[in-house]
Structure 1
Amino acid sequence: MRNYTLLNEFILLGIPQTQGLETLLFVVFLFIYFFTLLGNSLIFTAIVSSSTLHTPMYFFLGLLSIFDMLFPSVTCPKMLLYLSGQSSSISYEGCAAQLFFYHLLGSTEGCLYSVMAYDRYVAICHPLRYMLIMKPGVCVSLVTIACSVGFLHATILTSFTFHLVYCASNQVDYFFCDLPAVLPLACSDSRLAQMVGSINVGILALMFVFSISFSYAHIGIAILRIRSAEGRQKAFSTCSAHLTAILCAYGPVIIIYLQRTPNPLLSAFMQILNNIVSPMLNALIYSLRNKEVKRSLRRVFHTLAEVFRHFFIQFIINF
């Protein structure tokens, strides 16, 4: 590593134009991060603990909950650390790891949305063959492909970014290590890395948009053909939760990468929506709009209440 960099750490300058708001931001982001972890862990527990939810749809939803806990954990803990007045420095290796896992988890989750759209397409357009098509081996293969795409994407971007020479300024004018913030600090020519990053992100985005649009175009046609109003309502309710989650995830990313003139404050705000807020909203969207998940969550809460009641009684008796 010493052959191509003279820096051993970077300084994260934080969210642009928010000086003096550190305490307020710390409280807000801590609250959001806590409820993101709590909400998604409850959904995952509800899916695992309920045998009625052991279907392909909820298998993918459980995985999405895991990714929605991991994705904000790449950037949020470090951001909370320096917002609380602690060190804002991050090691060279830590910066590379942050960039790698951000793109690994982000692109894998994007692939997972496409897989979930395909799952809904099969369920609505081919209901009689659903369990035959979406058998366990196929589900695992689709998730493996999604993880492989994410790993390849993250490896390419991280390799091109951190094979450059960083020998001058180490101040990252952002709240985490991402391509647009790190590449301008390179002493060597970064045009190839910028081009590869844009092409990679662009190709992945087009793939996700095309696959999801294809699935939902067929789903829309199939829903219009359903004769019963109850059947149409059920199909629409199932798909609307997924579409809402997709819009929350892709909307900020599209705005970031379609800016003609980069706006640091707007980019930071969109990244916060994508990195921190969207994973929390996913938990709310899927728990509030899904009757099966709500029923399973009620059982989980009832079990937890019984456990706490038992421990409280034992504590009183022993005390």
Structure 2
Amino acid sequence: MNNSIVTEFMIMGITQKPELQRVLFFVFLFIYLVAFLGNMLIVIAIIYNTTLHMPMYVLLLALAIVDIICTTSIIPKILETMLTSRKTISYGGCMSQLFFFTWSLGAEMVLFTTMAYDRYVAICFPLRYIAIMNRYMCVALLSIVMAIAVTNSWVHTGLILRLTFCGSNIIDHFFCEIPPLLALSCSPVRINEVMVYVADISLAIGDFILTCISYSFIIVAILRIHTTEGKRKAFSTCSSHLIVVSLYYSPVIYTYIRPASSYTFERDKVVAALYTLVTPTLNPIVYSFRNKDMQAGIRKVFALLKR
């Protein structure tokens, strides 16, 4: 039940300095275009190339879609607040943004773990890979990802909807995120904080540990490769993936493991930008554009566009 008196929120944004806002507008626009077009290119390449209809690329397709939803739910509103004098977002718009952001947050974390498991099976059990990662397994894994993401999003959004906002309506952030909303609530937020801790421990910390375990087995398998070139390529791939995963999990864990009373925008704005802007932009480069099969698939897309 919505007991809120506040009908709209004012988003403070990145900075109040006009000269910096103009610069940041183009920076955020560039980031959004790179993230959106890069991930959209991956989606089109995988859909239209039957050679990429394999478990690894199906998971990449899902990750690209999640990244598109994540950036689209946040950046266009940021650009609007920078370009116009209108700094507000409706209560319903704020809750919708929160829902889609928390959905993409949960989906991305579980997808990272699923992708690490896929690579574990491919490297540690190459002869059994097709049998293990069959179509039914892919559907089951993606269904689990969706179920966890939707449950996570509904729980947090539903708990926020129960809060009363009767005081300040100024969100000291560049989008509607859980910590700044809890800081504005006139209602007790203990249940919200407990559920945030549960989600952070089970999703962020839990998935990060599972991902690291998968890569530990992968590294052990790589060390058994006899050729130096083979080890170098395998380690290069694993290190790139782990860097992106660490860039994503570390700020998420930092942001959500603390009580709402300790939240400060000045300290947390860069941290939030890492998992909302940087990681969705890096994912296409790290996970796809360095892959020869994906490169071939992307070239086919450009070849079709030239016709």
TM-score computed with the length of structure 2 as normaliser: 0.92
Choose 1 or 2 for highest CA Rg. 1
Counterpart in 2 of 1:81?
A: 80
Structure 2 counterpart of 1:239, one-letter code = C
Deviations 1:228-248 (A, max 9, x none): 334334433443343233123
Structure 1 counterpart of 2:299, one-letter code = R
Deviations 1:172-206 (A, max 9, x none): 11111111111121112222222222222222112
Structure 2 counterpart of 1:273, one-letter code = L
Counterpart in 1 of 2:247?
A: 248
Segment drifting more, 26-35 vs 196-205? 196-205
1:42 shift after superposition: 1.2
Determine if the alignment matches structure 1 residue 286 to structure 2 residue 296: no
1:193-208 residue pairs with structure 2 within 5 A? 193-208=192-207
Structural RMSD (CA): 2.0
1:257 shift after superposition: 4.3
Separation of aligned partners in 2, 1:193 and 1:40: 33
Separation of aligned partners in 2, 1:231 and 1:140: 31
1:194-233 residue pairs with structure 2 within 5 A? 194-233=193-232
Q: Is the CA contact 2:208–2:249 (under 8 Å) kept in the aligned structure 1?
A: no
Separation of aligned partners in 1, 2:250 and 2:189: 28
Q: Is the CA contact 2:74–2:97 (under 8 Å) kept in the aligned structure 1?
A: yes
1:1-319 residue pairs with structure 2 within 5 A? 1=1, 4-15=3-14, 20-257=19-256, 262-304=263-305, 306-307=306-307
Separation of aligned partners in 1, 2:7 and 2:137: 44
Segment drifting more, 118-127 vs 280-289? 280-289
Separation of aligned partners in 2, 1:60 and 1:7: 40
1:12 shift after superposition: 0.9
Corresponding residue SS for 1:90? strand
Counterpart in 2 of 1:311?
A: none
Segment drifting more, 11-20 vs 285-294? 11-20
Corresponding residue SS for 1:187? coil
1:254 shift after superposition: 3.5
TM-score computed with the length of structure 1 as normaliser: 0.89
Q: Is the CA contact 1:105–1:150 (under 8 Å) kept in the aligned structure 2?
A: yes
Deviations 1:119-167 (A, max 9, x none): 0000011111101000011111111101111111111111112201111
Query: What percentage of aligned pairs have identical amino acids?
Result: 40
Q: Is the CA contact 1:68–1:279 (under 8 Å) kept in the aligned structure 2?
A: yes
The number of residues matched between the two structures is 305
Q: Is the CA contact 2:21–2:82 (under 8 Å) kept in the aligned structure 1?
A: yes
1:60 shift after superposition: 0.6
Corresponding residue SS for 1:14? coil
Separation of aligned partners in 1, 2:212 and 2:97: 31
Q: Is the CA contact 2:247–2:275 (under 8 Å) kept in the aligned structure 1?
A: yes
Separation of aligned partners in 2, 1:16 and 1:195: 31
1:290 shift after superposition: 1.2
Distance 1:31 1:45, change over 3 A: same
